[in-house]
């Protein structure tokens, strides 16, 4: 099952880059409904590994072979519960690349993709509460983050 737009309790998010280092965000087709742009996201199925969930999201967004996963994955620790919400499970932010923006499409109805420069993406998805997202995206694009897992926050 795909997450509703702006899903705050999604387990897997995708930072998908085009050749110009812009990132695909989803936003409602009907502007002005109060929902912000967000990273494509999906909930894991019971006992499904994060990587498998990311692959499922990728298949929903691009033809086979059009999306290539990056070598860096962000680990987003769970947040402490407060009076308004339950404990959010640990999340993963996968990186991916497409040869051209037209090779990617929204994973669910009612949203469209918009491409934003990577330096602007973190501010547009601040509601996702991903600490250090701006540094993560900059370090990934500029190549100073090593391959593998990076904990954000």
Is the pTM higher than 0.75? The answer reads yes
Handedness of CA 98, 22, 39, 106 (dihedral sign): negative
DSSP state of 90: P
| Domains defined along the chain, listed by start | 12-151 (3.90.79.10)
pLDDT tens-digit readout, 63-102: 988 999 999 999 999 876 554 555 468 899 999 999 999 9
Q: How many CA atoms lie within 13 A of 9 on its CB side?
A: 6
**Cα dist from 60 to 49, 63, 82, 102, whole Å:** 17, 8, 34, 14
Q: Which pLDDT score is estimated for 2?
A: 43
Distance CA 84, CA 64 (A): 40
Distance CA 95, CA 54 (A): 10
CB 10 within 8 A of CB 76: no
pLDDT tens-digit readout, 133-149: 999 999 999 999 999 99
Distance CA 119, CA 22 (A): 9
For residue 81, count CB atoms less than 10 angstroms from its CB and return exposed for 0-12, middle for 13-18, buried for 19 or more.
Answer: exposed
């Amino acid at each position: 099952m795909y997450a509703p737009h702006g899903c705050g309790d999604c387990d897997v998010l995708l930072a998908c880059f085009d050749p110009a280092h812009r990132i695909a965000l989803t936003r409602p087709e009907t502007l002005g409904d109060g929902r912000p742009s967000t990273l494509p996201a999906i909930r894991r199925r019971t006992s499904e590994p994060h990587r498998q969930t990311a692959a499922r999201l990728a298949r929903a967004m691009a033809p086979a072979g059009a999306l290539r996963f990056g070598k860096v994955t962000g680990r987003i620790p769970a947040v402490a519960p407060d009076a308004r919400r339950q404990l959010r499970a640990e999340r993963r932010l996968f990186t991916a690349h497409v040869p051209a923006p037209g090779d990617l499409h929204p994973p669910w109805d009612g949203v469209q993709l918009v491409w934003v420069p990577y330096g602007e993406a973190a501010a547009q998805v601040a509601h996702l509460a991903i600490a250090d997202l701006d540094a993560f995206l900059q370090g990934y694009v500029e190549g100073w983050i090593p391959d593998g897992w990076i904990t954000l926050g």
